[in-house]
Chains A and B, each alone.
Chain A
Amino acid sequence: MKLIQVSNCYKVYKNGTTAIADLNVTIDKGEFVFVIGSTGSGKSTFIKMLYREEKPTKGDVIVGGINVARLRNSKVYKLRRKLGVVFQDFKLLPKLTVYENVAFALESLGMEAKEIRPRVLKAIENVGLKEKTRNFPNQLSGGEQQRVAIARAIVNNPKLLICDEPTGNLDPDTSKEIMKILEKINQELGTTIIMATHDKEIVNRMKKRVIVFENGVLAADHLKGSYKAHESIKNSK
């Protein structure tokens, strides 16, 4: 069942740069997809369009039944409630504790306090930070901060989790831990995960679907585990 459907999509920035050209791609529910490409390839623009940080210039981007291209500014929250976003720089609120940072997401939606508590504790438990609920972000390691960001992104049980280079600031071992958590979320909660990354080692190890961007166009869409093979063929040419 399709969760994301992008058809005939173009994105041209005000300065004339074409970031995305004639993009057609579909992503099903429950998939784990890597989005890769060099800097300026259009990968980030694609990711940003999925959570309506950018609007397509032409074409349709339908996420969970909502057409991002036609979504008014004041209605963006309706889309955002269906998905979670994780960034390279964590984007945690430094003056709030781990618990408060995760609860912040549900409080912003106007949820009842008695409903918030068990959901927040469950999300924190899912990312393995049960012992650190009262810590502030500056008392945590980079990996732990990213786990808080993941907990915040999944606390509302979204159908889609968008990760924009979540391991970009982390060492290889911590990156592995984060990937384990993401895989667990994907398999146990059935959450669709789209992850933009530069880390080829992770992509090759995980053996998931890979979408490759080059100069704003979709250069390749590899089935599970076939990216490594494609890369070795490409390198030998």
Chain B
Amino acid sequence: MKALRILSRSIRDSIKSVGRNFSLSIAAVTCSTITLILVAVAFILSYNVREITNNLERELTVVAYIKQDATEENRKKIETDLNRLDMIDSYIFKSKEEWLLEMKEESETLSTTLDYLDNNPLLDSYVIKVKKVENLKEITEKMREYECVSSAEYGEGMVENIVGAFDIISKGTLVIVIALILVTAFLISNTIKLTIFSRKNEIEIMRLVGASNIAIKLPFIFEGFILGIIGSIIPVITTIYGYNLLYDRLDGHLYMNLITLVKPFNFVFYIALILLAIGAVVGMFGSYRAVRKHLKI
């Protein structure tokens, strides 16, 4: 019962205290708001770049064309070997008829030209999806070794460069996100420290009248929690509305449908939760650290 009373008193006092120390509360909230907006932007950027890299990697394919005279045995040998390889995500056999159909669908002119031909000049093939960009070259070379393979191709050079660049950007933004979270933690906890420093008399009196350390810390920890949560409200709203607006304006794509943005639903709420958690945890931890300093004799 006593613990419950101390808990409810701590919550009541922390709410009162936010209002009573209004200017300092505003300082702490503003600091959290600004830094959390930066964290939100960095998060959105990092997540999108990572998604783009993942999407690109999912599309990494090698096409191996099979000679006209290849036997069923030759094909079975290739399939057995492909099944054994770890670096392969999946593969399909694409017949020359399928290629022809696809090409006809792509262009009418091509379709008419192809109709004039008596025989299908195209080749059967294997479309192989690899797991990582590094595997592209190796698989292509492996396929070229088969006698029955006429040629094997992938977007040599360019694909690796694009994926490599996005990978660097993705890692870079992740570093920025971590750095920003650390800076946020430092700034918020220092601002809260200042607000608590100005109230060291209060802590001293609480100690003098015989309040236990936990009874002294609790109201300040709750106060840090409240300030952190209030500070994350604007970043949360900005993230939810801002990203939805951006997604709608760009129709979900950047640079002629080449890059697809992450869909807002779920994603923004996930970011919002992270922001709330950072605000609350950093606020609480900052307060805890600051009060603890004043409790040492």
- Tell me the minimal C-beta distance from A139 to chain B in angstroms: 17
Q: Does A152 contact B (CB under 8 A)?
A: yes
A82 to B209 Cα, complex, angstroms: 9
Q: Does A109 contact B (CB under 8 A)?
A: yes
Within 8 A of B (CB), among A95-112: 95, 104-105, 107-112
Name the B residues within 8 Å of A55 (CB-CB). Answer: 297
Q: Select one of A53, A79, A95, A110 contacting B6, CB under 8 A.
A: A110
Name the segment of B63-71, B210-218, B229-237, B280-288 touching the other chain: B210-218
Name the A residues within 8 Å of B212 (CB-CB). Answer: 74, 77
Establish whether residues A73 and B210, one from each chain, have CB atoms under 8 Å apart when the complex forms: no
Q: Select one of B3, B296, B297 contacting A110, CB under 8 A.
A: B3
Name the A residues within 8 Å of B90 (CB-CB). Answer: none
Name the A residues within 8 Å of B171 (CB-CB). Answer: none
Establish whether residues A91 and B205, one from each chain, have CB atoms under 8 Å apart when the complex forms: yes
Name the B residues within 8 Å of A111 (CB-CB). Answer: 5
Establish whether residues B207 and A80, one from each chain, have CB atoms under 8 Å apart when the complex forms: yes
Q: Select one of A53, A112, A152 contacting B5, CB under 8 A.
A: A112
A107 to B16 Cα, complex, angstroms: 15
A77 to B206 Cα, complex, angstroms: 9
Q: Does B201 contact A (CB under 8 A)?
A: yes
| Secondary structure class of chain B's binding surface, majority of residues | helix
Chain B 8-28 against A: per-residue CB contact (8 Å), 1 yes, 0 no? 010000000000100000000
Task: Give the residue name and chain of the B residue nearest to A92 (CB).
Answer: B205
Establish whether residues B208 and A91, one from each chain, have CB atoms under 8 Å apart when the complex forms: yes
A231 to B208 Cα, complex, angstroms: 35
Establish whether residues B9 and A107, one from each chain, have CB atoms under 8 Å apart when the complex forms: yes
Within 8 A of B (CB), among A11-61: 51-55
A20 to B38 Cα, complex, angstroms: 56
Name the A residues within 8 Å of B76 (CB-CB). Answer: none
Considering only CB atoms and an 8 Å cut-off, how many residues of chain B contact the other chain? 23
Q: Does A223 contact B (CB under 8 A)?
A: no
Q: Does A156 contact B (CB under 8 A)?
A: yes
Task: Give the residue name and chain of the A residue nearest to B211 (CB).
Answer: A108
Q: Does B145 contact A (CB under 8 A)?
A: no
Name the B residues within 8 Å of A95 (CB-CB). Answer: 20
Residue of B20, B207, B208 contacting most chain A CB atoms (<10 Å): B208
Establish whether residues A110 and B201, one from each chain, have CB atoms under 8 Å apart when the complex forms: no
Name the B residues within 8 Å of A220 (CB-CB). Answer: none
Establish whether residues A109 and B209, one from each chain, have CB atoms under 8 Å apart when the complex forms: yes
Name the B residues within 8 Å of A112 (CB-CB). Answer: 5
- Tell me the minimal C-beta distance from B20 to chain A in angstroms: 5
Q: Does B2 contact A (CB under 8 A)?
A: yes
A188 to B235 Cα, complex, angstroms: 61
- Tell me the minimal C-beta distance from A72 to chain B in angstroms: 10
Chain B 85-127 against A: per-residue CB contact (8 Å), 1 yes, 0 no? 0000000000000000000000000000000000000000000
Residue of A51, A52, A76 contacting most chain B CB atoms (<10 Å): A76
Q: Select one of A51, A81, A93, A156 contacting B205, CB under 8 A.
A: A93
Establish whether residues A108 and B209, one from each chain, have CB atoms under 8 Å apart when the complex forms: yes
Q: Does A212 contact B (CB under 8 A)?
A: no
Name the B residues within 8 Å of A51 (CB-CB). Answer: 208
Establish whether residues B209 and A105, one from each chain, have CB atoms under 8 Å apart when the complex forms: yes
- Tell me the minimal C-beta distance from A208 to chain B in angstroms: 24
Task: Give the residue name and chain of the A residue nearest to B3 (CB).
Answer: A110
Within 8 A of A (CB), among B174-233: 201-202, 204-213, 215-216
Name the A residues within 8 Å of B5 (CB-CB). Answer: 110-112
Establish whether residues A108 and B206, one from each chain, have CB atoms under 8 Å apart when the complex forms: yes
Q: Which 8 A-B pairs have the closest CB atoms?
A: A108-B211, A81-B210, A80-B210, A105-B209, A110-B6, A110-B2, A77-B212, A77-B210
18 further contact pairs, Cβ within 8 A, besides A76-B297, A91-B205, A93-B205: A51-B208, A52-B297, A73-B213, A73-B295, A74-B213, A77-B210, A77-B212, A77-B213, A80-B208, A81-B210, A82-B210, A95-B20, A105-B209, A108-B216, A109-B215, A110-B5, A111-B5, A112-B5
